[in-house]
Amino acid sequence: MDNVVGQKSGLMWAVHIATALLVLLWVIPTVGLLVSSFRTGDQITSSGWWRALSAQEQQLSPIRIEGDEVERDGAFVIEGNLFGGATAVSAWGTNVNRPTEFAPGDTADLGDGRTLTVQEDGSFVLSAPVTWEGGRLPRVFTTATTAPEFTTENYRNVLLSPLAGQTVFQAFLNTATVAIPATIIPILIAAFAAYALAWMEFPGRALLVAAVVGLLVVPLQLALIPLLQFHNWIGIGKGYLGIWLAHTGFGLPLAIYLLRNYMVGLPRDIIENAKVDGATDFQIFVRIILPLSFPALASFAIFQFLWTWNDLLVALVFLGTGNDQQVLTGNLVNLMGSRGGDWEILSASAFVSIIVPLLVFFAMQRYLVRGLLAGSVK
């Protein structure tokens, strides 16, 4: 028997495996980004995030020898350590073409009687028959085994260090100023419109529903410049009010369509009994429809917030690029353009930008499927 009670079919197992793979594909990059945001730049460039807990052998950046010169036994000597921390030198050199020429403890002949010795722990002795004063000290290229290293300096640099006169933290606040009202305003307007299209009888209701469905396929890029010109004509211009209204207009078709489908599926007897008891449409909407429609409201709120939080194009058009109004995505674009090699800064910045959408999604994801399936069955 194929369908024995207590046994799962092969299709069910396939669904579970596919779901687990999709979750892994989504979670693994996020975990890697989080781990990388706490690593140093040298470790990020030398190994993957999955090796963050193991010691790594890597060629470090060249180090210019420096220190106080002392005269000893007729020679001028400079002693010190190339670096601090748990680092063990496995090879070293004084020429960029031969960075692993010497082993720890070897003495390199620099010419003219000058010598350099580097030990495994990074300590060095530079000796010369004449003073080094006014001369250029040699550079040392080292290949070393470094212990795992984690730091919070990346986040301090991202949140507090100014970039073009603005910190990422300020851009974070600007993004929240855009995203929160741009999520709440279309929900309020769409909820009233959806109730009217679902339960109120008036001429042209079917045409309005069809128009809403048609607006779902209109590319917002076509309306950006005409809408900006309209804002300038009525005196709004560029600013937070303009971008709130723009996001509201672009988000209303999906919001009305989603909420209307959900409200149509609510039991008709509840609305009719409320009307018999003398309740007005506004009372029915506030006390009955809104509480019952919370899953649909939450599902749209997730989509709208994620869209407005990660938006760049609409913000550039309706808000501008000034330091006092630049959103997080625009700030990170500038960060990548000027510091494309600082992977530790980029990973920390990226995680700062996604932490709020992740929190919103996990807090409201249980309502997502219920809201999306609204109105699909009767």
In-domain check, residue 377: no
Number of domains in the chain: 3
86 and 235 fall within a common domain: no
In-domain check, residue 151: no
Res 164: pLDDT: 46
> pTM of the prediction?
0.67
In-domain check, residue 208: yes
The answer to whether 366 touches 345, Cβ cutoff 8 Å, is no
The answer to whether 65 touches 137, Cβ cutoff 8 Å, is yes
81 and 20 fall within a common domain: no
Strands 114-118 and 87-93: unpaired
240 and 330 fall within a common domain: yes
Res 335: pLDDT: 66
In-domain check, residue 152: no
Res 1: pLDDT: 46
3-state secondary structure of 126: strand
In-domain check, residue 1: no
In-domain check, residue 23: yes
Q: State the residue range of the domain holding 72.
A: 56-146
Q: What amino acid occupies position 239?
A: G
Calpha distance 88→78 (Å, rounded): 21
142 and 259 fall within a common domain: no
Mean pLDDT by 10 residues, the chain (378 residues): 57 87 87 87 79 77 84 85 74 85 88 87 86 81 80 80 63 88 93 90 86 84 86 85 90 89 86 86 88 85 89 85 76 63 77 82 70 49
Radius of gyration over alpha carbons of the chain, in Å? 32
115 and 203 fall within a common domain: no
Burial class (CB in 10 A: 0-12, 13-18, 19+), 302: buried
315 and 183 fall within a common domain: yes
In-domain check, residue 378: no
Res 317: pLDDT: 87
Q: Which residues pair with 58 in a beta bridge?
A: 144
Of 146, 179, 204, the residue that ends a domain is 146
89 and 110 fall within a common domain: yes
- CATH of residue 175's domain is 1.10.3720.10
In-domain check, residue 277: yes
262 and 347 fall within a common domain: yes
121 and 177 fall within a common domain: no
69 and 17 fall within a common domain: no
Res 186: pLDDT: 93
178 and 285 fall within a common domain: yes
193 and 327 fall within a common domain: yes
